[in-house]
Structure formats: structure tokens, C-alpha cells
């Protein structure tokens, strides 16, 4: 359909944004140009009214005309940039469809009042101003164009992948425009491009020159989970009033603003040395103060809704706070944490990574298994956030020097309950729909895992039980067979693994039944069937905020530890039992911190003393098996270095597996060598946890149940 001509403007020919076939992008981009020209026409009309009205009203007219011109310039810029960045047009086309009808109606209403010859020019302006301001909830007419300009500026930044793109401000403007659309009696916008099509942006053409950190912070979030207990962010420094001199060749990776620009964090890369740096800027009382540190000189940890960055103080001989950053959404906090960890881990200036930073506090692990991801061995983990109840997928390096280093993450809180979210394609392959992958490595290419017309993301598990348990985590009642189960290759593989799984199911069920009720941090799947329900009820703790769907964990009878028996090597890489994770208690942000906040960390030897911890063995998923649990074998901890305050808890031992646990805010600790949860009464109790009189004995594949006579005053 031919587009109408407005004010002598002829739209340019349709560019190959979506190819020669039909599509909404060319039409909407041309509409963008047309409305931009109409903005200048409306500004010219307002200039004519300004000459005939009293001086008291002229300021409002001039301001409205100037903002209309600014909106027109941004519409032109957006249309021009769409032809240069046509690969990303589908990403912003739905957002453009939110604001363009509102701009069109506003310009049409102004033109209607201007062309009303039955009134004087002064009365035309007064009627226009009061009626249109009242229509928008008493928002002045100039402020409406200011809102349009702010939203369009965010669209331009989104399109060109600007590092200054602020998703929080962009979404806030979008919500205000949606409210304005309702007041204008406009229908709710529809998605012109399905979400599944936007996930294939990398398939159309990948710009290798774009750093992965630039990409993850230059696109809108798929979901927004608001955080609570927000406070003003703080910058401790030391700060100086002279801006640091940047290197000769550098590239800004991303920039985040906090408290309306009072504090900003800019992460840039020195291209010559390939090392990332963090620039902290604080604006206070009309002055601007700066602090600069290399990423390898800072430590990072989460504290509820905040990210704490720490530096090593040579004067105090301990790590101290450098900055405390409060985030509005959980998704942005997660991306900032793992982007910083990845940049720090791959920095050439870092002598050795800190394994404690590979686990983020406040998350519960629901599932873990080995996958084959873009021809690499990765560990796939399903995390649930304890504060927001958000779910996400997390892939990490399986082995090697960078074991457990982050590879990618995907937020699935908004889609995992959908029946169409997951589709089992074969015995080991699972397709996930409507997920957005955030990559933390330039060597990983998520577009290689996209398949089908809908851009489904494929996850290939190393073993069939891993794929089965993963599917049951999201679709526990689904019994539909996979598409490729009937094929010969998958049938043989399924038959080979079925016998081993049947043999070990009984042992896993016996072991899980005795251990699932002994710890308060592991959610029980079902009540024990051996008549011990009264004892189980007294030891079971439930979270009042969790609903039945959010607390779904693989049941023990479905092999909660998928590696049991002597002949189950193919199952030993799947982890689906939730252990006590590291949590940080509430603490005031000040220079004087408790010993539990890394206060006793020794300085690292070498030219970069900012590494906050010595090496601590991390629990590898390949070191966990029920066979080792049942053997009762003790390990030598002589090679495990202390991690200061972070290691002030008991150590959970399962075979060759070690996990350093933070102190639980409720005071519960797991006794070394056992499955008992013990509540500390004072510092003197810690010695009994660190050095028990005798190791726990495991007989007949069952660990001993905690004895009430040993601790008569404590609850299990």
C-alpha cells in the first residue's frame, strides 16, 4: 500500500532491512521520517502563534516549539541509523511502535487547534494548552515532548549499541508513554516482531568488533524483577578531583549510573595491554571526584540488593570497601556481577582467580549437569534467587584453569512456567524457546546453538539422565516422549543407560531418604514412607515466601544425585540436590567491617596485591558421586588455604568434594564429616565443628542420623 504524502515529503525507497518480502520495519521507519517532518511543521505553526499572544504565554509556546523540533531531529536520526544498523532494527521495532502512534495523535491534535479559525490565536493556544495538558493528567504540553525526546534518545542508543544506554530510564519512559496512550484513548500496542525473531539477531550477522560486554548492556532486559531494601549507593575511594588520564588506546565496555547520576561506574579496556579498568565517578556539591582501579585489584561480592567492590588497604593490611552499588533490578545486578568476574578472570594482570567469586551469594542451586555447548564442555546450573524468587540458567567452564568461570546466563523467570518453553528433541537434546542469552566470553557463539524457525536454543547434555532430570525440573508431569526417541541411535543409547539407572535407583533412594531430612537448607521432596513422619516434621523447615512451583527440585527417587553405583559413570556429572549456599548477612556499609567480611585476608604476593584471597579448592561437578559418599573416606585438608572470614564455617565433605560455606544468618552450620546441622552458641563452639572427636561412620550406604541425646537443647 502506498504511503500518503505529507507536506510535500516523499519517503525514500524501502531499504533491505527485512528483505524484499513484506515486513513492518520498512513501513514503520518511513512513518518515522514522516512524523519527524510533521514535528517541524508543528513547530513552525507554534512560532506563528507566539507572535500574536501576550508575553506571559510566550515562554510556554517557545518551549513547546523547541521540544517539538528536538523530537523531530531524533525521529530523523532514528530513521537514518536504521539503515546503517539494519541488523538491530527488529530489536527496537516493537519499542518504536509504542511511541509513534502517540506522537502522531499529539501532532494531529495540535494541528486541529491551530486550524480552528473560529477563535483568535490567543484562544487557540489557551484551548490547546489546557485541554491537552488535562488529557495527559495535568502534565504540561512541553513536558510531553520532553518525554518523547527522552524515549527516542534511548531508542537511538539501543539501535547503535551505545554504552550510555540505561535500561532503567528507558523502561520508565516506556511505562509513562503507555500511560499517556491510555489517556489518549489509544489501543494497547501489539508486537510487530515476535520475541522469537528478535533472538535471531546474531544469526543475521555478528559484528566481531563488538565486545561481549558492550552487547549485554546495550539491549533491554527480557524481564525486570525489582529489588527491595534499596539505599543510596556509596563511593569510598580514595577519591581525587583530577580525572585520571586514560591510556592512548582504550575502549569503553559499559557504563552504569546510580542514584540519578550521582555515582557512575565506567568499565573500559586498555587495548594495548588487554586489561580492564574500573573508573568510579562521584558528583557531590557541585564537584566531580574520581577513583580508578584495575579490575584485578578489586574483589566483588553480593549483599542482598547491592554489589560491594573492595580494594586491598596496605595501611590497614586488609580489604576495605571501595564502592557499594545498589541496583534497581535483579537482572542488572546479576549481569554486572558476572561481567565483572569474567573481565577480572581473563585479565592478564591477574595472577590467579578467586574461586569464591564464582558463586554469587543469595542463590539456591536446583540443578547441575554437564553439557556439550558450542563444542565445549560446560556445566549447566539452574539457580533460584532467594530474595526475588527469580530463576536463571548459568553455564560455566567445566574443567581447566578457568574451571567454574562464567560463560553465559539466561533469565527464565518469565517463561519457564509456559508449557511451550521446553521441548525434548532427543534423549540428550533439549530445545528452549523465548530465552535471551547473555554471553561472558568472546570465544562462545550462542548463534551456533540456535535452531529452527523460532530460534530455539539447543542444550545438549552429556548423558541422558541429565536431560531427563532437567526436563522434569520444569515439566514434572510431562510424560510425552521425545521426537527422536524412535530413531535407532537414540533408542540404543536410551536402552544402554536404562539398565544402569534402574540398578542405582534403589541405592540413591535409600541414601537420599536419610540425608534429605537432616539439613534445613535442603528441601524435602516427599515425606518418608517408613513411618518416621513425626521425626521428619520436627526437623523440616519451609520458606513461607516460596510457593509449590518455585520450590520444585528433582525428587530423591528420581536420582537426586545422579551418579550412584559402581557402573554409573555416565550419571556422575548430574547434580540436582540443593546444598547450603553462601549467604551474606545484613551489614551496614562502613569502613569498619566484621571479620566475616574478608577482614583477615592476607595480601597477595606479587606486583598486584589486589587479589583478595588465596587459592581455595572449588567443588568440581566431576568430583561428586554417591559411591564416594558411601565410602566414608576422609580427605586431607592440608592443601586448602584459608579464606579469612569467608571460611569461618564448617566444611561439607562428600568424597573428594569440598565446599566452603558462609556463616548462615540463622546460626546453623554443618558439622564436618556428617550431615548434621548444628546451631552455634558462641565462638568456643567453632572448635568442635572444625575438629570433631571422630569422623562420622557410614554403614550399609547410610550416614547415621543425628542423635537427640547428643544435643538435647537443639532443634534438628
**162-166: long-range pairs with CB below 8 Å, 24+:** 162/218, 163/214, 163/217, 163/218, 163/252, 163/253, 163/254, 163/255, 164/255, 165/217, 165/218, 165/219, 166/257
Buried b (16+ CB within 10 A) or exposed e, 164-200: bbbbbebbebbebbeebbeeeeeeebeebbebbbbbe
Q: What angle do CA 334, 335, 340 make, to 5 degrees?
A: 105
Q: What angle do CA 668, 674, 677 make, to 5 degrees?
A: 15
Query: What is the pLDDT at residue 195?
Result: 52
Residues (pLDDT < 70) of the chain are: 1-25, 192-209, 476-716
Q: Is the pTM of this model over 0.85?
A: no
CA distances 69 to 107, 267, 270, Å, are 12, 34, 39
Query: What is the pLDDT at residue 600?
Result: 39
Residue 702 CA, distance from chain mean position:
39
Contact (CB, 8 A) for 546 and 386: no
The residues, ordered by sequence, that sit 6+ positions from 260 with a Cβ below 8 Å of its Cβ are none
> Strands 298-303 and 306-313, how do they pair?
antiparallel
Host H or E run for residue 94? helix 89-114
pLDDT in tens, 625-668: 333 333 333 333 333 333 333 333 333 333 333 333 333 333 33
Q: What angle do CA 136, 140, 142 make, to 5 degrees?
A: 115
DSSP category for residue 275: E
Selection from 328, 240, 331 nearest residue 280 by Cα: 240
Query: What is the pLDDT at residue 299?
Result: 92
Contact (CB, 8 A) for 678 and 689: yes
DSSP calls for 25-66: HHHHHHHHHHHHHHHHHHHHHHHHHHTTS-HHHHHHHHHHHH
Query: What is the pLDDT at residue 24?
Result: 55
If you search the block for the grid coordinates 521507519, which residue do you land on? 29
CA distances 437 to 392, 448, 698, Å, are 11, 12, 43
Amino acid at each position: 500500500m502506498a504511503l500518503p504524502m505529507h507536506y510535500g515529503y516523499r519517503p525514500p525507497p524501502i531499504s533491505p532491512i527485512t528483505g524484499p518480502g513484506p515486513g513492518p520495519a520498512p513501513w514503520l521507519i518511513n512513518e518515522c521520517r514522516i512524523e519527524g517532518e510533521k514535528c517541524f511543521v508543528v513547530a513552525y505553526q507554534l512560532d506563528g502563534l507566539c507572535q500574536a499572544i501576550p508575553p506571559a504565554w510566550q515562554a510556554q509556546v517557545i518551549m513547546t516549539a523547541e521540544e517539538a523540533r528536538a523530537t523531530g531531529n531524533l525521529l530523523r536520526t532514528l530513521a537514518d541509523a536504521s539503515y546503517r544498523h539494519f541488523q538491530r532494527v527488529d530489536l527496537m521495532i516493537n519499542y518504536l511502535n509504542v511511541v509513534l502512534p502517540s506522537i502522531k495523535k499529539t501532532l494531529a491534535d495540535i494541528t486541529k487547534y491551530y486550524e480552528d479559525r473560529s477563535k483568535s490565536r490567543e484562544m487557540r493556544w489557551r484551548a490547546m494548552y489546557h485541554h491537552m495538558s488535562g488529557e495527559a493528567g495535568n502534565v504540561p504540553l512541553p513536558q510531553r515532548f520532553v518525554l518523547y525526546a527522552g524515549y527516542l534518545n534511548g531508542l537511538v542508543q539501543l539501535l547503535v549499541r551505545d554504552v550510555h544506554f540505561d535500561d532503567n530510564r528507558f523502561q520508565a519512559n516506556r511505562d509513562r508513554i503507555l500511560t499517556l496512550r491510555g489517556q489518549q484513548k489509544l489501543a494497547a500496542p501489539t508486537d510487530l516482531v515476535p520475541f522469537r525473531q528478535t533472538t535471531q539477531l546474531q544469526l543475521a550477522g555478528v559484528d566481531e568488533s563488538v565486545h561481549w560486554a558492550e552487547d549485554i548492556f546495550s539491549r533491554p532486559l527480557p524481564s525486570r524483577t525489582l529489588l527491595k531494601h534499596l539505599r543510596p549507593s556509596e563511593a569510598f575511594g580514595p577519591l581525587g578531583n583530577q580525572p585520571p588520564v586514560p591510556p592512548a588506546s582504550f575502549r569503553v565496555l559499559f557504563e552504569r549510573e546510580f542514584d540519578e547520576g550521582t555515582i557512575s561506574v565506567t568499565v573500559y579496556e586498555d587495548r594495548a595491554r588487554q586489561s580492564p579498568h574500573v573508573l568510579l565517578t562521584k558528583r557531590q556539591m557541585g564537584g566531580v571526584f574520581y577513583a580508578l582501579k584495575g579490575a584485578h585489584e578489586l574483589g566483588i561480592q553480593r549483599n542482598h540488593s547491592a554489589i560491594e567492590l573492595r580494594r586491598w588497604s596496605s595501611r590497614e593490611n586488609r580489604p576495605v570497601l571501595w564502592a557499594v552499588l545498589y541496583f534497581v533490578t535483579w537482572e542488572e545486578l546479576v549481569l554486572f556481577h558476572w561481567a565483572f568476574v569474567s573481565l577480572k578472570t581473563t585479565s592478564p594482570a591477574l595472577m590467579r582467580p578467586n574461586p569464591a567469586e564464582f558463586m554469587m551469594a543469595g542463590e539456591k542451586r536446583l540443578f547441575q549437569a554437564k553439557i556439550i555447548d558450542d563444542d565445549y564442555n560446560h556445566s549447566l546450573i539452574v539457580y533460584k534467587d532467594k530474595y526475588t524468587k527469580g530463576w536463571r540458567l548459568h553455564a560455566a567452564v567445566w574443567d581447566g584453569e578457568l574451571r567454574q568461570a562464567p560463560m553465559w546466563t539466561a533469565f527464565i523467570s518469565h517463561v519457564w512456567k509456559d508449557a511451550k518453553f521446553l521441548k525434548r528433541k532427543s534423549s540428550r537434546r533439549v530445545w528452549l524457546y523465548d530465552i535471551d542469552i547473555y554471553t561472558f566470553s568472546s570465544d562462545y557463539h550462542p548463534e551456533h546453538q540456535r535452531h529452527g524457525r523460532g530460534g530455539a536454543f539447543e542444550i545438549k547434555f552429556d548423558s541422558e539422565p541429565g536431560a531427563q532430570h532437567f526436563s522434569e525440573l520444569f515439566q514434572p508431569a510431562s510424560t510425552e516422549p521425545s521426537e527422536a526417541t524412535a530413531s535407532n541411535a537414540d533408542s540404543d543409547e536410551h536402552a544402554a543407560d536404562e539398565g544402569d539407572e534402574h540398578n542405582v535407583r534403589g541405592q540413591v533412594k535409600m541414601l537420599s531418604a536419610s540425608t534429605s531430612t537432616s539439613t534445613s537448607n535442603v528441601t524435602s521432596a516427599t515425606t518418608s514412607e517408613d513411618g518416621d513422619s513425626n521425626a521428619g516434621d520436627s526437623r523440616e523447615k519451609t520458606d513461607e515466601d516460596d510457593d509449590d512451583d518455585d520450590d520444585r527440585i528433582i525428587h530423591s527417587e528420581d536420582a537426586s544425585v545422579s551418579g550412584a553405583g559402581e557402573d554409573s559413570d555416565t550419571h556422575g556429572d548430574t547434580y540436582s540436590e540443593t546444598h547450603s549456599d553462601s549467604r551474606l548477612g545484613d551489614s551496614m556499609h562502613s569502613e569498619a567491617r566484621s571479620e566475616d567480611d574478608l577482614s583477615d585476608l592476607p595480601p597477595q604476593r606479587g606486583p598486584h596485591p589486589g587479589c583478595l584471597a588465596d587459592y581455595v579448592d572449588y567443588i568440581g561437578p566431576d568430583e561428586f558421586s554417591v559411591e564416594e559418599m558411601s565410602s566414608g573416606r576422609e580427605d586431607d585438608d592440608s592443601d586448602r588455604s584459608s579464606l579469612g572470614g569467608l571460611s569461618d564455617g564448617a566444611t561439607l565433605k562428600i568424597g573428594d568434594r569440598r565446599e566452603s560455606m558462609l556463616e548462615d544468618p540463622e546460626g546453623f552450620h554443618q558439622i564436618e564429616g556428617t550431615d548434621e546441622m548444628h546451631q552455634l552458641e558462641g565462638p568456643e563452639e567453632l572448635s568442635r565443628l572444625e575438629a570433631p572427636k571422630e569422623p562420622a561412620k557410614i554403614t550399609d550406604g547410610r550416614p547415621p542420623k543425628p542423635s537427640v541425646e547428643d544435643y538435647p537443647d537443639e532443634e534438628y
